[in-house]
């Protein structure tokens, strides 16, 4: 089936664009899924409450205010429940999209192939490449998808109003 497409999509810039399209599509679908499966406004409130609690606890510990620290530590089980609720709601969307994402990954991988799909014009000094060296400059499907996905995720979640931070 994929032989019909020929080798065009295994070459840069077509492979680069295919992976960018995949990253955009996955991020849009994930954001729509979050909008439909979670109460985004409630999640924002819970996240803000958790951040405020953690900030107050940190300040109490740093200032050695034992009374305030003890008071806040009594709220810890309640905060842990809130944290678990936020995590569970986030996982709902992840679990729903995991299998379709794996199928899409397989499809795109079979289209673009195992070679280089993008070339970075600058070195990426993250020691996760081959032999613990930096990433790139030649980027395979995995690294180009990760970079593209991170680049678009914040923008898409803000545009679709599903970001859990302000």
Q: Which of 93, 112, 100, 96 has its CA nearest to residue 153?
A: 93
Give the per-residue pLDDT at 1.
Answer: 44
Instruction: Tell me the pLDDT tens digit for each residue of 61-81.
Output: 888 888 888 888 899 899 999
Model confidence at 131, in pLDDT bands (50, 70, 90)?
Answer: low
Whether pLDDT at 10 is above 90: no
CA atoms within 13 A on the CB side of 21: 13
How is the chain split into domains, by residue range? 9-159
Q: How much is the pTM?
A: 0.77
CA distance 91 to 95: 6
Q: Over pLDDT 70: what percentage of the chain?
A: 92
Taking the C-alpha atoms of residue 117 and residue 44, their distance in angstroms, rounded to an integer, is 37
Q: Which residues contact 119 (CB under 8 A, 6 or more apart)?
A: 12, 136, 137, 138, 139
Separation of alpha carbons 109 and 141, rounded Å = 7
């Amino acid at each position: 089936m994929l032989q019909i497409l020929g080798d065009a999509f295994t070459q840069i810039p077509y492979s680069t664009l295919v992976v960018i399209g995949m990253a955009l599509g996955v991020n849009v679908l994930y954001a729509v899924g979050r909008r439909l499966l979670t109460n985004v406004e409630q999640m924002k409130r819970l996240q803000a409450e958790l951040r405020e609690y953690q900030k107050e606890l940190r300040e109490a510990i740093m200032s050695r205010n034992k009374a305030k620290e003890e008071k806040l530590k009594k709220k810890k089980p309640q905060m842990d429940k809130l944290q678990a609720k936020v995590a569970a709601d986030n996982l709902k969307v992840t679990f729903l999209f995991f299998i379709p994402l794996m199928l899409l990954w397989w499809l795109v991988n079979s289209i673009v192939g195992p070679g280089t799909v993008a070339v970075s014009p600058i070195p990426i000094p993250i020691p996760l490449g081959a032999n613990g060296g930096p990433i790139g400059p030649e980027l395979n499907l995995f690294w180009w998808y990760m970079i593209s996905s991170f680049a678009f995720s914040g923008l898409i979640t803000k545009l679709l109003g599903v970001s859990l931070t302000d």
